[in-house]
Structure 1
Amino acid sequence: MLKIEHLSKKFVGNDFYSLSDVSMEIEKGEIVGLIGKNGAGKSTLMKMIAKSQKPTSGTITYNGTDINSRDNVLDDFGIMIDPVFYPEMSVIDNLKFYLKLHGKEELYSNIESTLKLVELWDARNRKPKGFSFGMKQRTALAIALVAEPDFLILDEPFVGLDPIGVQKLITILKTWSSERQISMLISSHQLGELEALCSRYVYIEAGKLADAFEGKENPSLVVNLDTTKDLSVLKPFLSETVSLEENSLDISTVTEAKELNQLFEVLASHELIAGISVKENHLKDVFMKG
């Protein structure tokens, strides 16, 4: 659905590339997490996809069309990168204006449910100029969601939402992905929320695509091992759900009971257990290694 080929960006006055030779694809209905440290180039990539910045080299095609070859290629996109709205216009009027601008007045009926989703219905008649940063983020998020887009680009969509609001947003985005086949590129430093949502990740480091990998849907039990003992007895148990990572054993919570019983029998009988912890967030490992 979206194809990025050898994309690079060098800003005027800089002697370095903010983004260098990035290539990736996003399929229909796929939710991709964009991760990386501050200044890695994530926002630059998202802004070029949104056409707010032009690439120095490389191409971005959407459904086979170069997005920079003509206007209105991104009509079906919902975009939230920087909070963009009219600060002197009420929240509800901002959404109405956005829909009218895109010729989608028939979707006015979406406004109430969208504002309730982002917890702004009670503030619908207020002007965003006096909002906190989190409320401004939620206003921009509402604008991105209200027009039933086919593709979403979201930068820090969870900011300002309480835990219940975060869970509601995650649920509706996953529903849109599965039922309406909406594609999404989502960047956030809230890694737990990303793991609850994304099926695949791309990791940007120093402007380059450093890694791309499938997500782990379930938390793991981590068994820290006594490395003074012989660990070779664990080899028969290594599988897609059980992996040996340096001095610890990563055991997915979806591992079958029979296998778990056999594994822990070996661990106990050989006194290999040095400690146990729960790993709910696998993405932290990517940052630690980066």
Structure 2
Amino acid sequence: MLKIKKISKQFKGNDFYSLQDVSMEINKGEIVGLIGKNGAGKSTLMKMMAKSLKPTSGVITYNGVDINSQDNILIDFGIMIDPVFYPEMSVVDNLKFYLKLHGKEELYPNIESTLKLVELWNARNRKPKGFSFGMKQRTALAIAMVAEPDFLILDEPFVGLDPIGVQKLIDILKKWSSERQISMLISSHQLGELEALCSRYVYIEGGKLADSFEGSEHPSVVVHLDSTKNMEILNPLLSDTINLTDNLLDISTGTTSEDLNKIFGVLGEQELIFKIEVKENHLKEIFNKGA
């Protein structure tokens, strides 16, 4: 659906590239997480996808068309990178104006449900100029979502939402992905929320694509085994969801109850358990490598 081929960006006056030779694809209905430390180039990439920056070299195509070759090619995009709205206009009027500007007045009924989703319905008649940073983020998120876009680009969409609001947003984005086949690129430092949502990740480091990997549907727990005891008894119980490396037993939460009862039965009977812990998610591991 969207292809990025060897995109680079060098800002005027700099002798270095803020982004260099990045290539990736996002397919229809796919939710991709964009991760990286501050200054890695994530926002630069998203802004070039949104046409607010032009690449120094490379090309971005949407449905096979270079996005910089014609106007209004991103008409079906919902974009939240920097909070953008009219601060002197009420929240509800901002959404009405956005829909009218895009010729989608028939979607006015979406306004109430969208503002309730981002927890701004009670503030709908207030002007965003006096909002906190989190409320401004949520206003921008509502604008990005209200027009039922085919593609979403979201930077830090969970900021300002309470845990219930975060879960509601994750649920609706998953539903949009599965039922309406909306594609999404989402950047966030809230790694747990990304892991609950994304099917794939790209990791940007120093302006370059450092890694790309599939997400895991199920987190794991790790059982530290007593290294003084014989662990070979566990070999017949190992599977795709139960793995043994040295004295660490990795058990996916997607393991069937039958297999869980078997493995923990043997572990308890043989007194093999030294301690148990929740496995660090892969996203956190990546961040910690360079820390």
- Shorter-chain TM-score bucket reads over 0.9
More divergent stretch after superposition (206-215 vs 152-161)? 206-215
Identify unmatched segments of 5+ residues in structure 2. Answer: none
Structure 2 counterpart SS, 1:68: coil
Residue of structure 1 equivalent to 2:47: 47
Structure 2 partner of 1:22: 22
Q: Which amino acid aligns with 2:192?
A: G
State the superposition RMSD in angstroms. 2.0
**Alpha carbons 1:141, 1:157 under 8 Å: kept:** yes
* TM-score normalised over the length of structure 2: 0.92
Asked if 2 retains the 8 angstrom alpha-carbon contact of 1:114 and 1:146, the reply is: yes
Query: What SS does structure 2 have at the residue aligned with 1:161?
Result: coil
Kindly state the Cα deviation for residue 232 of structure 1 after the two structures are TM-superposed.
Answer: 6.1
Q: Please, which runs of 5 or more residues in structure 1 have no aligned partner? A: none
**Pairwise CA distance, 1:227:** 4.8
Read off the aligned partner of 1:109 and give its amino acid letter. Answer: P
Corresponding residue for 1:224? 224
| Distance in 2, Cα, partners of 1:104 & 1:58 | 33
- Relative to structure 1, the CA distance from residue 134 to residue 232 in structure 2 (aligned partners, 3 Å threshold; closer, same or farther) is same
After TM superposition, give the deviation of residue 270 of structure 1 in Å.
Answer: 6.1
Residue 117 of structure 1 aligns with which residue? Answer: 117
Q: For the residues of structure 2 that align with 1:10 and 1:234, how far apart are their CA atoms?
A: 55
Task: Answer yes or no: is the 8 Å Cα contact 1:192–1:280 preserved in 2.
Answer: no
Per-residue deviation, residues 204-231 of structure 1 (Å, max 9, x unmatched): 1111111111111222111124456666
**SS at the partner of 1:141?**
helix
SS in structure 2 at match of 1:218: coil
Q: TM-score, normalised by structure 1?
A: 0.93
- 1:8-65 deviation line (CA, Å, top 9, x unaligned): 1111222221111111111101111111111111111111100111111111100000
Per mean C-alpha deviation after superposition, the further-off stretch among 275-284 and 201-210 is: 275-284
Q: Which range moves more in the overlay, 36-45 or 142-151?
A: 36-45
C-alpha contact (below 8 Å) 1:218/1:280 kept by paired residues: no
Query: In the aligned structure 2, how far is the partner of 1:267 from the partner of 1:51?
Result: 56
Aligned ranges 1:1-290 → 2 under 5 Å: 1-227=1-227, 237-244=237-244, 248-264=248-264, 267-268=267-268, 272-279=272-279, 281-290=281-290
SS, match of residue 71 in structure 1: coil
Q: CA 1:266–1:206 in structure 2 vs 1: closer, same or farther (change >3 Å)?
A: farther
Cα distance, 1:5 vs structure 2: 0.7
Structure 1 distance, partners of 2:66, 2:152, is: 18
User: Number of residue pairs matched?
Assistant: 290
Q: Distance in 2 between matches of 1:226 and 1:40?
A: 41
TM-superposition CA deviations, 1:97-122 (whole Å, max 9, x none): 11111111111111111111111111
State, as a whole percentage, how many aligned pairs show the same letter: 81
